[in-house]
Amino acid sequence: QVQLVESGGGLVQPGGSLRLSCAASGFTLDDYTIGWFRQAPGKEREGVSCITSSDGRTYYVDSVKGRFTISRDNAKNTAYLQMNSLKPEDTAVYYCAANQGDFLSDYVEEYAYWGQGTQVTVSS
């Protein structure tokens, strides 16, 4: 069945880095736009970044521009989110999501498939 599995979360000090991975199974990512979202306690799920299927166009929410980089390796059926210069306000559960098509969107409703999430905690 269609499945997305995130990994790479953890506890990191402010200024540190983490790389999240999103492995797909049951389908190939080639024709899918991939999005990364996050949800902090008591807050709504927020779109962080996304990457198109065809030409790798990317989107970043303003708060992560210059610090986070989204990428995809279709040969490995995996997407990534490299997070540098992490801040305490980046603490959240991070989710990857996918939907067939070629678009840039940070709307939760645009994505049909979701992973279970991975916790990222930025704290000293």
What residue type is assigned to position 29 of the chain?
A: L
State the pLDDT at residue 41: 93
Mean pLDDT of 100-111: 92
- For 4-44, the pLDDT digits (tens) are 999 999 999 999 999 999 999 998 888 999 999 999 999 99
Q: Does the CA dihedral 35-65-59-61 come out positive or negative?
A: positive
Identify whether the C-beta of residue 90 lies closer than 8 Å to the C-beta of residue 22.
no
With a cut of 90, say whether residue 101 has pLDDT above it. no
CA-to-CA distance for 44 and 38, rounded, in angstroms?
Answer: 9
- For 53-96, the pLDDT digits (tens) are 988 999 999 999 999 999 999 999 999 999 999 999 999 999 99
State the pLDDT at residue 98: 96
pLDDT above 70 coverage of the chain, percent: 100
